[in-house]
A and B are shown apart, each in its own frame.
Chain A
């Protein structure tokens, strides 16, 4: 079968969404199909966001099947459209009150939200099957669009390479350094960690300079390391040798970091508003779910530093939790078999 995977392109941004699309294409090819990724640039301000959606309506895609992944790629017109939803345009929905949302309570914003909600519902209703990457995304779809979808879980990037290793004296977090990932919260948490352990916060993003300043302001230069971009090989080793992973984004869709940490046999310290992360982290079993305050996160890290055997037990449980993840059943469901 010839299959086009459709996804939005945010120029110069590379993160979980891009890996998810590429790995889906690879999984389809591994299953014996011809598959290609089709991406169109998009912008997320409340005026131009409609342009990209409309562009997808007008693009001819000759394939036996299309699999749309995220907003606005699911506006693609095709007689056989399957949607495996990573997310809608969240700043118009669940993140409308977030600092980065440009939707206010003015008439123009409200009409833009109304129209976007209607466009979304129509484009998604066209799909012959509607899946989401997690229960969190399915719940948002039910809440904001009134549509039912089946969560379909897939393995994270590097799933086959990640492995447990001896825990050294640091906690780890790989993340885009962007507001919704809240890397600053992790740095602030380190100011509350009594134990002499370090945080390695890998990744790039627009908050780099702010984080550097926060580290200096809090006197954490010796305890917080910001190595920037790391290669896949380095990433695997950083996971393997960490005591634990600390990850507290705002209402994450799915959260590859959690799944990668579990694959490496590491517990995850998170916050109670972390969204999809909470589908995996069971408080006291595979990590700690804190109140999301710097003090709460810091206390959880202290507890794991003080009891490495607890961290090991939790990490073992975490690895068991993701052991069954595989692309094969995902592809089977997406193709309606």
Chain B
């Protein structure tokens, strides 16, 4: 996609690992170049402190470079931080208020996923892929329950993308939601993901989950309804991109304003993956005009 004049953002490292922040930072990397703190980095356009004890935060508080600070769950920011930081990043757990405690608070969901990196597949498209690959016309995946064999991560993603329905528990459940898999899970997992029974998922007791998934696999209308609702839930409640976009806006990182950007926005809102054939074709057809407006870089 178009990358006009990307901003440079300095990351101030935490003294403790913050793996929970990784999805937000990855999403932010779409719109800005993120650099680890380094003496050679002389003129960042913004800074992100990955914790309240991040190395270099004290110095950052004294200058005027736009600053975001990541808090831990339940951590109260100091008055100085509230006064100085342009954005306070706060993890949002299921059931938490999305708005946060102050106007500068940006919440990001836990658990979270970069939904756009995992495009959804409807039951009909899954069926076509199975036909293409010579797989059974109905394929039910059961994983994460005691009686099932754990699958490798890569295998789980493929299986979740191809299955007619899935009974899933554990860390892969959110991925299943994002892929629009018609999904059966247990009550605690549904609560962890804010998913409702017969709206986004089917909630079943562990010993009934496989049978429920089998039933779901044979009802394509039910499966299609749940699968699309699951995808929308993953985007609405667990997608990190809105948080990343909000941080970018608070840090004053360049907003989309060029002529080609409206085309990119229209493609984004339809969930078009970068480099998808229709996107490349649209940009190719518009290129002479976008070039006149100074927009020259396009996705491959």
Instruction: Name A residues whose Cβ lies closer than 8 Å to a Cβ of B.
Output: 47, 50-51, 54, 57-58, 75, 77, 93, 96, 105-108, 110-115, 117-119, 121-123, 125, 139, 142-148
List chain A residues, Cβ under 8 A from B45: none
Select the stretch in B20-28, B77-85, B124-132, B137-145 that faces chain A: B124-132
List chain A residues, Cβ under 8 A from B232: 125
In contact, A146 and B228 (Cβ under 8 angstroms)? yes
In contact, B271 and A118 (Cβ under 8 angstroms)? yes
In contact, A146 and B131 (Cβ under 8 angstroms)? no
B71 CB within 8 Å of chain A: no
Given contacts A122-B269, A146-B224, whether A115 and B128 have CB atoms under 8 Å apart is no
The 8 Å CB contact of B270, one of A111, A122, A145, is A122
List chain B residues, Cβ under 8 A from A106: 132
The A-contacting residues of B in range 196-251, CB under 8 angstroms, are 220-221, 223-229, 232
Instruction: Name B residues whose Cβ lies closer than 8 Å to a Cβ of A.
Output: 119-125, 128-129, 131-132, 220-221, 223-229, 232, 262-263, 266-267, 269-273, 276-278, 281-282, 285
Question: Once the chains are docked, how many angstroms separate the CA of A195 from the CA of B267?
Answer: 59
In contact, A142 and B128 (Cβ under 8 angstroms)? no
Given contacts A47-B277, A50-B281, A125-B232, whether A145 and B269 have CB atoms under 8 Å apart is no
7 nearest A-B pairs in the assembled complex, by CB-CB distance: A146-B224, A50-B278, A146-B228, A57-B266, A105-B132, A146-B225, A142-B221
For this complex, 25 residue pairs linking A to B, each with C-beta atoms less than 8 Å apart, are A47-B281, A50-B277, A50-B282, A51-B281, A54-B266, A54-B278, A105-B128, A105-B131, A107-B132, A110-B125, A113-B125, A114-B119, A115-B119, A115-B272, A115-B278, A117-B124, A119-B271, A122-B271, A125-B232, A139-B221, A142-B221, A143-B220, A146-B226, A146-B229, A147-B228
In contact, B266 and A58 (Cβ under 8 angstroms)? yes
Question: Once the chains are docked, how many angstroms separate the CA of A122 from the CA of B119?
Answer: 12
Question: Once the chains are docked, how many angstroms separate the CA of A106 from the CA of B229?
Answer: 28
Question: Once the chains are docked, how many angstroms separate the CA of A111 from the CA of B161?
Answer: 13
Query: A48: nearest residue on chain B (CB-CB)?
Result: B281
In contact, B263 and A119 (Cβ under 8 angstroms)? no
Q: How many A-B residue pairs have CB under 8 A?
A: 97
List chain B residues, Cβ under 8 A from A54: 263, 266-267, 278, 282
Question: Once the chains are docked, how many angstroms separate the CA of A181 from the CA of B282?
Answer: 34
List chain A residues, Cβ under 8 A from B267: 54
Question: Once the chains are docked, how many angstroms separate the CA of A194 from the CA of B11?
Answer: 86
Measured CB to CB, the closest approach of chain A to B178, in angstroms, equals 12
Given contacts A96-B128, A105-B132, A146-B225, whether A118 and B266 have CB atoms under 8 Å apart is no
In contact, A142 and B225 (Cβ under 8 angstroms)? yes
List chain B residues, Cβ under 8 A from A93: 124
In contact, B124 and A144 (Cβ under 8 angstroms)? yes
Measured CB to CB, the closest approach of chain A to B78, in angstroms, equals 42
Given contacts A115-B276, A117-B122, whether A58 and B271 have CB atoms under 8 Å apart is no
Given contacts A57-B270, A105-B132, whether A114 and B125 have CB atoms under 8 Å apart is yes
Measured CB to CB, the closest approach of chain B to A99, in angstroms, equals 18
Question: Once the chains are docked, how many angstroms separate the CA of A100 from the CA of B273?
Answer: 28
In contact, A118 and B270 (Cβ under 8 angstroms)? yes
In contact, B125 and A143 (Cβ under 8 angstroms)? no
Question: Once the chains are docked, how many angstroms separate the CA of A142 from the CA of B273?
Answer: 25
In contact, B128 and A143 (Cβ under 8 angstroms)? no
Choose among B120, B125, B227 the residue with the greatest number of A CB atoms under 10 Å from its CB.
Answer: B125
The 8 Å CB contact of B224, one of A77, A96, A142, is A142
Measured CB to CB, the closest approach of chain A to B119, in angstroms, equals 6
Question: Once the chains are docked, how many angstroms separate the CA of A116 from the CA of B225?
Answer: 17
List chain A residues, Cβ under 8 A from B122: 114, 117-118, 121, 144-146
List chain A residues, Cβ under 8 A from B220: 143
List chain A residues, Cβ under 8 A from B228: 121, 125, 145-147
Measured CB to CB, the closest approach of chain A to B24, in angstroms, equals 24
Query: A75: nearest residue on chain B (CB-CB)?
Result: B270
In contact, B278 and A51 (Cβ under 8 angstroms)? yes
List chain B residues, Cβ under 8 A from A143: 124, 220-221, 224
Question: Once the chains are docked, how many angstroms separate the CA of A110 from the CA of B273?
Answer: 15
The 8 Å CB contact of A58, one of B124, B227, B262, B273, is B262
In contact, B281 and A110 (Cβ under 8 angstroms)? no
List chain B residues, Cβ under 8 A from A108: 277
Query: A114: nearest residue on chain B (CB-CB)?
Result: B125
List chain B residues, Cβ under 8 A from A119: 270-272
Question: Once the chains are docked, how many angstroms separate the CA of A118 from the CA of B116?
Answer: 12
List chain B residues, Cβ under 8 A from A123: 270
In contact, B224 and A145 (Cβ under 8 angstroms)? yes
Question: Once the chains are docked, how many angstroms separate the CA of A114 from the CA of B124?
Answer: 9
Question: Once the chains are docked, how many angstroms separate the CA of A122 from the CA of B282?
Answer: 19
List chain A residues, Cβ under 8 A from B125: 110, 113-114, 117
Query: A57: nearest residue on chain B (CB-CB)?
Result: B266
List chain A residues, Cβ under 8 A from B225: 142, 146-148
Measured CB to CB, the closest approach of chain A to B98, in angstroms, equals 20
List chain B residues, Cβ under 8 A from A75: 270
List chain B residues, Cβ under 8 A from A122: 269-271
Question: Once the chains are docked, how many angstroms separate the CA of A148 from the CA of B132?
Answer: 29
Measured CB to CB, the closest approach of chain A to B129, in angstroms, equals 6
Query: B282: nearest residue on chain A (CB-CB)?
Result: A54
List chain A residues, Cβ under 8 A from B272: 115, 119
Measured CB to CB, the closest approach of chain A to B33, in angstroms, equals 29
